[in-house]
């Protein structure tokens, strides 16, 4: 079975992911739907061969030791682009999950995001967090924000990624991109050294642990604009997740630091469109106004949803308000809208109205 043929089929169908599992034909995810490809069933030997055709000898050795490996792969046919790959063992044989990495950075204006997201690219300093489930478009939003700044400023941008997804060309800005495993051992290590490399803007692929979160907040405190992600579903959960990373005795201090540095939380959920092929995001936006900073400092994060609801005039929006707008604009189905809602019963009544 030819890997290049599989990748080409996925590319022609605009698939976001490819899954190679022994005992099944290759499967691709097209606009959230898992679709079998018209290829023979993958054998255990075939799955291993496909893995070894993509991975370096070092990665293969690590995989044989740990039974898991993450790496990036550049297709031989350049037009097929790059892929983020996870190799794993399942039922004693190799399984593969490939995520297509888009090479062309889309403009912010083409992502159907609220206008306030573009305003965030004018921030001089602070912490901006983009959250959502895996595959919710976080990397695309951040890449578009970086590109907008690349076209406007003369600054130094440093990205720390796992792996490097969108590749940037330095336009007005000087951009350096570092990949986990290839260029740095961890996000925390990359971020610690980035602070000595004279950056103005730092992109941290994910705040996975306490050390990375602490360094990101410190970088924001010292005058850098820091962009990062978390796997959380809304703004209040994001704030709580960061605070909960810290030991109980340090949480009051981190509330104060986070209140001073956090600029915005953007939470995304992707929907399959019903009007056109493709996906569209619903977005919750929290902007850190003085009232929000007091809420964080005083441990009243349960009030954040109410603040978002009452601050729409300045650009804040709740997830359900964004979902309702997509539905009334004919972009998504009623069933999907209710299924992804934060408050399904309330939204259902709103959609009927």
- Structural contact between residues 250 and 226, judged by C-beta atoms closer than 8 angstroms: no
| Fold type of domain 3-101 | Beta-Lactamase (3.30.450)
Q: Where are the domains of the chain?
A: 3-101, 108-352
120 has pLDDT over 90:
yes
How far apart CA 156 and CA 159 sit, in angstroms, is: 10
49 has pLDDT over 90:
yes
- Give me the architecture of the 108-352 domain, per CATH: 3-Layer(aba) Sandwich (3.40)
1 has pLDDT over 80:
no
How far apart CA 177 and CA 247 sit, in angstroms, is: 32
Residue whose token pair is 């290590």: 189
165 has pLDDT over 90:
no
Query: pLDDT by residue (tens digit) across 320-342?
Result: 999 999 999 999 999 999 999 99
Indicate the pTM of the whole model: 0.88
* Strand ranges (E), 9-90: 17-21, 27-30, 33-36, 68-74, 82-90
Buried/exposed code over 51-60 (b: 16+ C-beta within 10 A; e: otherwise): beebbeeebb
127 has pLDDT over 80:
yes
How far apart CA 140 and CA 326 sit, in angstroms, is: 19
Residue whose token pair is 């804040």: 316
**Given this model, what pLDDT does residue 203 score?**
98
């Amino acid at each position: 079975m030819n890997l290049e043929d599989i990748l080409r089929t996925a590319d022609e169908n605009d698939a976001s992911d490819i899954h190679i599992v022994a005992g099944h034909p290759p499967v691709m995810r097209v606009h959230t739907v898992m679709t079998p490809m018209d290829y023979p069933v993958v054998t255990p030997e075939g799955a291993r061969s496909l893995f070894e055709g993509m991975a370096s000898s070092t990665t293969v050795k690590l995989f044989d030791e740990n039974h898991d490996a993450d790496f990036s792969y550049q297709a031989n046919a350049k037009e097929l682009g790059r892929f983020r790959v996870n190799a794993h063992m399942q039922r004693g044989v190799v399984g593969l999950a490939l995520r297509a990495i888009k090479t062309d950075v889309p403009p912010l204006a083409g992502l159907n995001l609220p206008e306030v997201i573009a305003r965030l690219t004018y921030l001089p300093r602070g912490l901006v967090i983009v959250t959502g489930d895996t595959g919710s478009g976080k990397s695309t939003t951040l890449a578009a924000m970086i590109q907008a700044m690349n076209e406007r400023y003369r600054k130094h941008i440093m990205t720390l990624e796992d792996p490097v997804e969108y590749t940037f060309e330095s336009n007005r800005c000087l951009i350096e991109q570092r990949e986990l495993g290839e260029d740095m051992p961890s996000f925390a290590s990359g971020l610690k050294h980035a602070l000595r490399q004279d950056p103005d803007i730092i992109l941290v692929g994910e705040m996975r642990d306490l050390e990375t979160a602490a360094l990101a907040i410190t970088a924001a405190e010292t005058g850098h604009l820091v962009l990062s992600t978390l796997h959380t579903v809304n703004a209040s959960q994001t704030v709580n997740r960061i605070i909960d990373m810290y030991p109980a005795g340090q949480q009051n201090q981190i509330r104060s630091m986070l209140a001073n540095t956090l600029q915005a939380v953007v939470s995304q959920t992707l929907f399959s469109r019903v009007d056109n092929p493709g996906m569209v995001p619903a977005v919750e936006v929290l902007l850190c106004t003085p009232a929000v900073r007091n809420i964080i400092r005083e441990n009243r994060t349960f009030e954040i949803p109410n603040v978002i609801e009452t601050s729409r005039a300045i650009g804040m929006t709740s997830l359900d308000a964004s979902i309702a707008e997509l539905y009334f604009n004919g972009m998504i189905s009623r069933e999907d809208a209710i299924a992804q809602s934060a408050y399904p019963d309330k939204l259902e009544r709103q959609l009927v109205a």
